[in-house]
Structure 1
Amino acid sequence: MTLTTRSTSVQQQSLPQRLNRLRAGVLGANDGIVSTAGLVFGVAGATTDSGAVLVAGLAGMVAGALSMAGGEYVSVSSQRDSEVAALRRQESELSTNPEGKLRELADHYAARGLSPALAGEVAAELTRHDALDAHAEVFLNLDAEDHVSAWAAARASLVSFVTGSAIPLVALVAAPVAVRLPLTVIAVLVALLATGLVSARLGGARVLPAVVRNLVVGSLAMGLTYLVGALVGQHL
């Protein structure tokens, strides 16, 4: 089966593709929360005008969402192009030198501890079943039938960034002026706790360091930008 045929035969998104979208979504939401919180806190430090805070927050939301989506699209597209190019090289080598590629695969399994005879049998069986997939998995660490979707990752980043941005923006604009800062801080920290937890689970990492890191970064973003806004506001 050729690479072109493979690309049209995959009808449903695989687990890696779904995880890719979920990863992009979590990162997008986290960036939306932190960047927008920092932006609106900076404006809130300079003025109590809710209109100005709303305009700044909306502008930051749109700009950030488009930037995240564009960056994710370019990044994943570059990754996909590299994967496709590597697979095409393997496909070309398989068509021009099948015996050499078979020996290469057998040598790999022999180096992993199989006897030469068994390694040759395994390589031959895998090659008969799907030569490109066998070589892609062993030498490229790729699934020849599956590629990440740049558009899916971009959409996930855009939607999640807007969703994350809405949390500090709505909290700061909708709350009464007297309590809007502490309420927004609470809303942002709770949201960052959630994204830190999810990102740790997705990556199989320890939860506590990921959550603490998220909370510290978010707190610094809000505190420092508020301080800058307050200092600048005094001179305007």
Structure 2
Amino acid sequence: MTDAADGETFAPGQHPEEPHREGLAQRLNWLRAGVLGANDGIVSVAAVAVGVAGATTAIAPILTAGLAALVGGAISMALGEYVSVSSQRDSEHALIAKERRELAEMPEQELEELTGLYVAKGLSRETAQKVAVELTDHDVLAAHLSAELGIDQNDVVSPWHAALASAVAFMIGGILPLIPMLLLPAAARVPVTFVVVLVALAITGWVAAYIGGSSRGRATLRVVIGGALALIATFAIGALLGTTGVV
């Protein structure tokens, strides 16, 4: 079966809208990192800029703090994603190596294990053994990785993709609140920034829910409320420090 829109081929009986495609883990990996990076960029940079704006109307400190939060946050997000996904990748590679070694050292026991897994899923012993043998003849390692560990050896996540997606998305997200803070008159900076941030968070919340297949409305509301609380808190702290003469 072929999708005329993009030329992709699907297995017989497969619904085109369902994500049974090669490279799915890689795509979800960088999409997840990108959405989270954009969300963090929007909230963290906006919170810093609004906090400073609560204490002073001068552009220089707002710009300095905003740029520092933008660059530092992007680097931090990239490093965090790289370390996290690298650990996941190393674990997957170790599991793949372990399974390959077990298949070489005790193939009969591994075939029996694979048969047992399919019996546990509801197949009869005879059918499960036939499935296990046919999958073993086709690609023994892939069969065991899929059934035992849920891993595709050709679709191991990339830490570089996650780090780059996170950093770029953070920068893009972080620039959004800086634009009204730097371009608008002092009286309009904070209110307009609030609106821009909440709209942007609603979009990232909806996209994150769409990727994860969860409720769009609930996820969007959580993100918007969290962002609003962050902005209110930092603005209140900045205003308090500004009015008391601490800064």
Which TM class, normalised by the smaller chain length?
A: over 0.9
Deviation at 1:209, TM superposition (A): 1.0
1:171 aligns with 2:180: yes
Q: Deviations over 1:38-97 (max 9, x none)?
A: 100110011100111011000000110000000000000000000010111000000000
Greater mean deviation of Cα atoms: 21-30 or 103-112: 103-112
1:147 paired to 2:159: no
Counterpart Cα distance in 1 of 2:28 and 2:120? 32
**Aligned 8 A contact 1:133 1:145 in 2:** no
Partner Cα distance (2:122, 2:191) in 1:
61
Once residues 211 and 34 of structure 2 are traced to their aligned partners in structure 1, the CA distance between those partners, rounded to angstroms, is 12
1:131 aligns with 140
Amino acid corresponding to residue 127 of structure 1 in structure 2: T
Quick one: percent identity of the two aligned structures?
A: 52
Letter of the 1:214 counterpart: V
SS at match of 1:38: helix
Of 203, 225, 229, the match for 2:234: 225
What residue number does 2:32 align with? 23
Query: What amino acid maps onto 2:120 in structure 1?
Result: A
Equivalences for residues 70-149 of structure 1 within 5 A: 70-149=79-158
SS in 1 for 2:116: helix
In structure 1, what is the Cα distance between the partners aligned to 2:159 and 2:93? 13
Counterpart of 2:17 in structure 1 is: none
Cα distance between partner residues in 2 of 1:174 and 1:35: 19
**Where has structure 1 moved over 2 Å in runs of 4 or more?**
none
Q: Distance in 1 between matches of 2:28 and 2:119?
A: 33
Residue matched to 1:156: 165
Q: Out of 157-166 and 205-214, give the one that drifted further.
A: 205-214
What's the secondary structure of 2:187's corresponding residue? coil
Does the 8 Å CA contact 1:76/1:150 hold for their aligned counterparts? Answer: yes
CA–CA distance in structure 1, aligned partners of residues 56 and 37 of structure 2: 28
Contact kept, 8 Å, 2:24 with 2:155, in 1: the verdict is no
TM-score normalised per structure 2: 0.88
Q: Is the 8 A contact 1:137 1:144 kept in 2?
A: no
**Stretches of structure 2 lacking an aligned partner (at least 5 in a row):** 1-21
Show the counterpart of 2:208: 199
User: Could you tell me the TM-score, scaled by structure 1's length?
Assistant: 0.93
Gap regions ≥5 residues in structure 1? 1-12
CA contact (8 A) 1:80 1:147 kept: yes
How well do the aligned residues superpose, as a CA RMSD in angstroms?
A: 1.0
- CA drift of 1:113 comes to 2.2
